[in-house]
Amino acid sequence: MAWFNQLDPTTQFVLLSAAKVVPVAMILLGLVAYTVLAERKICAAMQDRIGPNRAGPFGIWQPISDAVKAFFKEDFTPDHVRKVYFWLAPAIVMIPALLTIAVIPFGSQLGQQKMVIADLNVGVLYTFGIVSLGVYGIVLAGYAANSKYPFMGGIRASAQMISYEIAMGMSVIPVFLIVGDLNLSRVVGSQAGTVAWLPVLPNWTVFQSPMLALSFAIFLVAAFAETNRLPFDLPEAEQELAGGYNIEYSSIKFALFFMGEYANMIAASAMMVTLFFGGWTLPLFGLDAPATTLFGGLLHIGIFVGKVLVMLVIFIWVRWMWPRFRYDQLMDLGWKRMLPVALANIVVTAAWLWLRA
Amino acid sequence: MDAQSHSEIGQYVPVVMLFLLAVLITGGMLLGSVLLGQRGRRSKIKDTAYECGMIPVGRGGARLSVKFYLVAMLFILFDIEVVFLYPWAVVYRELLAQPATANVIFFAMLSFLGVLLVGYVYALKRKAFDWRS
């Protein structure tokens, strides 16, 4: 590593960042591919079917064969679409989905390096900003298709996503009232140890107080709505809209929407793990403190990925357990139930802190 | 770490790198599909909008319920409120710890939320949130 130490600090920083950015993006894409497989397998198990089992043992090569198939299919651009936006929309869905993970600490330390791509002090605001950009891709896809079902799907998606974005943004404010920092590394750091009221439970945000548990509940529901997953998959609603905003798309462009949805799901899971389930910490064997050894660092990454996988299984599980909401019920839940509850939650948390001060 | 990574703008360098990588991946996939994909024949029927096999009637963009526009307007209103809440949340405990500012920080935000609550109740009473009416 002598040559590395001779470089000037800026070059070192850029190289180290590249060494984090490339593997994280690759692992995210791999995780997206295998979440799709997991979804199909779990769905099959719940419906008493076998699921994909032809490509390799337990169908483990299925994602690869799906990708190859998507590439070799005809990339058809119908005559009636708005061409520029038609090409732009899948990219605008996919790019923000990949960008969301930049601020999430996926491990403590490897050597001297903090395991987070960009340790921004605005942390969560960045995430919410990027997540909002995802709406544009879907609206644009609906508009670009210049056809009735996709247009309806795109409009539904935008109304749904902006409605639940408010509930989502409000639900996490109690967390920041208590932590007092938007930086996600410090949010994770504040969750070390065990909770005061029951020293067996880890000091994760969900367990700290009833207000924070409510925060998590609202965030979870909003995350389902934001990622357009069942029970809130009205933008896609196969039975009503025959697929929604992605009807006119074929081959890899269709796959990009699909991958964007799963990447968003992974980002939402990672966000929930970071904010509410202690990120890479475990209150056992001193795994709360940043790792000093290489093995410890890898173990922390493993713990984080493990927690994210549990959240993903919950996402998949919910999808195959619940029927879809009706549109007016969806809007009612967002505006008349979750918004006032999230607002009240903020006031109660603030008042509680004020009384204690 | 060095000064570069601690400067405000320097922090965003990895984000830009991730962005470029994301553009590269997405662009590569779109291009790959053009290069590798099958070339099919075009026909008049294939070029029509998909409407479950019916011949499409009228223009693509259907007229929408005004409710969607209303939701967009209400969203801007409440989202700005959320943006104002974040800085307050971050400094809240710090200012609570000082007796001089403890009451100010609590009641100032309470009054802000109170004003917005009036707006919310108004929108609720005018049935802005009722999708079926």
The full DSSP string for chain B is --HHHHSTTGGGHHHHHHHHHHHHHHHHHHHHHHHHSPPPPP-TTTTS--STTSPP-S-SS----HHHHHHHHHHHHHHHHHHHHHHHHHHHHHHHTSHHHHHHHHHHHHHHHHHHHHHHHHHHHTTTT-S--
Q: Residue B13: inside a domain, yes or no?
A: yes
Which residue of B52, B64, B90 is in closest CB contact with A181? B90
Q: Residue B131: inside a domain, yes or no?
A: no
Rounded Cα distance between A181 and A179, Å, is 6
A228, A235 in Cβ contact below 8 A?
A: yes
Is B93 in contact with A181 (Cβ distance < 8 A)?
no
For chain B, the domain total comes to 2
Torsion of CA B14, B17, B18, B23, to 10 degrees: 160
Q: Residue B116: inside a domain, yes or no?
A: yes
Q: How far is CA A180 from CA A146, A184, B96, in A?
A: 47, 11, 11
Low-confidence ranges of chain B (pLDDT < 70): 1-7, 60-61, 133
3-state secondary structure of A110: strand
Query: B114: exposed, middle or buried (C-beta count within 10 Å: 0-12, 13-18, 19+)?
Result: exposed
Write out chain A residues lying below 8 Å of B110, CB-based: 347, 350
Nearest to B78 by CA among A163, A205, A323: A163
**Longest CA span, chain A:** 66
Angle, CA A250 vertex, CA B36 and CA A135 arms, to 5°? 120
Rounded Cα distance between A205 and A232, Å, is 26
Is A90 in contact with B30 (Cβ distance < 8 A)?
yes
Nearest to A253 by CA among A84, A42, A90: A90
Rounded Cα distance between A121 and B44, Å, is 55
User: Could you tell me the residue range of the domain that residue B7 belongs to?
Assistant: 3-39
Strand partners, A114: A109
Dihedral sign computed on CA atoms, order A156, A93, A36, A188: negative
Q: Return phi, psi of residue A61, to 5°.
A: -95, 0
Say which amino acid occupies A181. D
Write out chain B residues lying below 8 Å of A248, CB-based: 49-50
Q: How far is CA B122 from CA A258, B115, B117, B128, B130, in A?
A: 40, 11, 8, 9, 13
Rounded Cα distance between B24 and B31, Å, is 10
Nearest CA in chain A to B9: A120
Write out chain A residues lying below 8 Å of B93, CB-based: 177-178, 180, 353
Nearest to A317 by CA among A34, A47, A33, A39: A39
- Tens of pLDDT along B74-101? 888 888 888 888 888 888 888 888 888 8
How much of chain B exceeds pLDDT 70, in percent? 92
3-state secondary structure of A109: strand
Q: What predicted TM-score, i.e. pTM, was given to this entire model?
A: 0.89
Write out chain A residues lying below 8 Å of B129, CB-based: 331-332, 335-336
Specify the pLDDT at position A313. Answer: 92
- In chain A, alpha helices (H): 2-6, 9-46, 62-72, 83-99, 123-145, 148-171, 173-179, 184-189, 205-208, 210-226, 238-241, 251-276, 294-321, 327-332, 339-356
Is A9 in contact with B17 (Cβ distance < 8 A)?
no
Q: Residue B56: inside a domain, yes or no?
A: no
Name the DSSP letter for residue A114: E
- 3-class secondary structure per residue, A253-288: HHHHHHHHHHHHHHHHHHHHHHHHCCCCCCCCCCCC
Residues B33, B72, single domain; the answer is no
Q: Residue B10: inside a domain, yes or no?
A: yes
Task: Tell how strand A109-110 and strand A113-114 pair up.
Answer: antiparallel
- Tens of pLDDT along A175-209? 988 888 888 888 888 888 777 777 778 888 888 88
Low-confidence ranges of chain A (pLDDT < 50): none
Is B49 in contact with A148 (Cβ distance < 8 A)?
yes
Give how far B7 is from chain A: nearest CA, Å.
11
A171, A211 in Cβ contact below 8 A?
A: no
ipTM of the complex: 0.85
Write out chain A residues lying below 8 Å of B12, CB-based: 118, 120
Please give the structure tokens belonging to residue A261. Answer: 């949805």
Write out chain B residues lying below 8 Å of A90, CB-based: 26, 30
Picking from B33, B67, B112, B130 by the largest number of A CB atoms within 10 A of its own CB, the best residue to mutate is: B33
Cis status, amide bond into A231, omega within 30 of 0? yes
Is A17 in contact with B13 (Cβ distance < 8 A)?
yes
Q: Return phi, psi of residue A82, to 5°.
A: -85, 105
Is B26 in contact with A256 (Cβ distance < 8 A)?
yes
Domain boundaries, chain A: 73-356
Say which amino acid occupies B30. L
Give Cβ neighbours of residue A348 (< 8 Å, ≥ 6 apart).
A211
Give how far A108 is from chain B: nearest CA, Å.
16
Write out chain A residues lying below 8 Å of B13, CB-based: 13-14, 17, 118
A350 touches chain B (CB under 8 A): yes
3-state secondary structure of A2: helix
Which residue of B34, B78, B131 is in closest CB contact with A327? B131
Q: At what angle do helices A251-276 and A62-72 cross, to 10 degrees?
A: 140
